[in-house]
Amino acid sequence: MVHMDNTPFTVGTQMLTPSGMRQRYLLGRYNYYMYARNSSEFLASMQVSSTDVYRTMQSGYSELQGVLAGNTKAQDYLKLSQAQASSSMKKLPPFTIRRAQNISESLGQQAIVDGFVAKPIYDYIEGGHWNDGPAPYTCLVADNDHVKRNDDPQYYTDLEWIPPLVKDNYGIEFDLSSEVVQNMDYLNSTHYADAIFAIKFEGFNFKANWTEGQLDIVNTTNKDNLIYPYSNYDRELLISKLLEQPLYEIIDLAAGHKESNNETIPYYRLYSAHDTQIANILTQLMPDYNYTYIPFASNIYIEVHQDPRFDDPFDYQIRFVYNGKPMKIGACADFEGDLCPEKLFISELKKYIIVGDDKKLYDLCDNNVPPEQTFLTAW
């Protein structure tokens, strides 16, 4: 939660609310049941990396709590009516956190683990390629351009139609002066949109009367604010760098190796990052995919499967999943089911990002090669 005045949130600036921590804990429990229950390798070899921001580290530790909690009792199963309801596409009622207000006040700025932990979280990748990690600044060119564009109104002129439709309600919601409301441009409005998104999720009462159309505009504002700060070229570099190490590991694993860059390939690699990374992965790898916003605790999985139908033990298949929904990239859509052959998956990714060329990516991220000679994606 980004802190601002006149909001109902009492957690410290840039920290998770109790509901956010609960979401990530439940995601960790899901991951335990999906991947760890029948594997002794999971906990021993998993590696966790985070951006160097409190709330993403807090997210990572919350998820680890779910993974490491274990379970000694028999697994609970849903009743038939519960299973049918969960797949009916109807909205579930929002869950609540007991003593949420007290927890928020107690957490303050002390929510980050301090001391010995069962599984550490790094803000870099152990044994990774040069300057690896989930943070945008691991590719300097993309991050520097993002910083310049992020606060420059010229890149958002085609979105200036948005504030007049919602700024009066922002004024009521956050007790803004008439002058602030009158002069609100798109960039100013993005901070308030983010807060409205969080207030709605937490179930707090609004002060203003919001229509569904206005709340849709809030969602769109949040999405555009993740995408617009990156040029097409910057986004290509950003996602290439973000996925570099995992894709090296997939390629090496499919070639029959147990190591990548002289390090044992982990059974499970977790990045704890931001909606920025999620939105730009979707936009870069699936430019035709239409989404309205990035929900809290969103996740992308790249699963590596050994297909028992093939004799070759290294004939690997890939499943790409966004928020529980299997997605197909490019020609992978031609295959039935959720899986895509590893070689095809990698070749399709190469149409959108740089894969397997460490030197080239290093040069581009350090601005040693002119962008016009390297841009891959046609938009």
Q: What is the pLDDT of residue 375?
A: 39
Mean pLDDT, to the nearest integer, of 100-118?
61
Tokens encoding 252: 């090496």
Other beta carbons less than 10 A from residue 206's beta carbon: 13
Which amino acid appears at position 254 of this protein?
A
Distance from C-alpha of 66 to C-alpha of 23, rounded to nearest angstrom: 10
Could you tell me the domains of the chain? 156-228 (no CATH), 230-366 (3.40.50.1240)
> Which is nearest to 270 in space by CA: 82, 41, 59?
59
Could you tell me which residues come within 8 angstroms of residue 328 by beta carbon, excluding any fewer than 6 positions away?
320, 335, 340
Mean pLDDT, the chain, whole residue set: 82
Mean pLDDT, to the nearest integer, of 67-83?
60
Greater confidence (122 vs 243) lies with 243
The model's confidence at residue 379, banded by pLDDT at 50, 70 and 90, is very low
| The residue to which tokens 């009066």 are assigned | 168
Distance from C-alpha of 121 to C-alpha of 270, rounded to nearest angstrom: 10
Secondary structure class of 54 (helix, strand, coil):
helix
Q: What is the pLDDT of residue 328?
A: 94
Residues 12-43: tens digit of each pLDDT: 777 888 888 889 999 998 888 888 776 666 77
The answer to whether residues 57 and 50 touch, using CB atoms and an 8 Å cutoff, is yes
Distance from C-alpha of 362 to C-alpha of 171, rounded to nearest angstrom: 46
Residues 252-272: tens digit of each pLDDT: 888 888 877 767 888 888 999
Q: Which of 4-13, 251-260, 307-316, 327-336 has the lowest mean pLDDT?
A: 307-316
Q: What is the pLDDT of residue 358?
A: 83
Distance from C-alpha of 71 to C-alpha of 12, rounded to nearest angstrom: 32
The answer to whether residues 16 and 103 touch, using CB atoms and an 8 Å cutoff, is no
* End-to-end alpha carbon distance in the chain: 33
Residues 135-145: tens digit of each pLDDT: 777 888 888 88
Question: 340 - beta bridge partners?
Answer: 318
Helix extents (H) in 299-367: 342-349, 358-365
Greater confidence (282 vs 149) lies with 282
Greater confidence (377 vs 244) lies with 244
Q: What is the pLDDT of residue 86?
A: 55
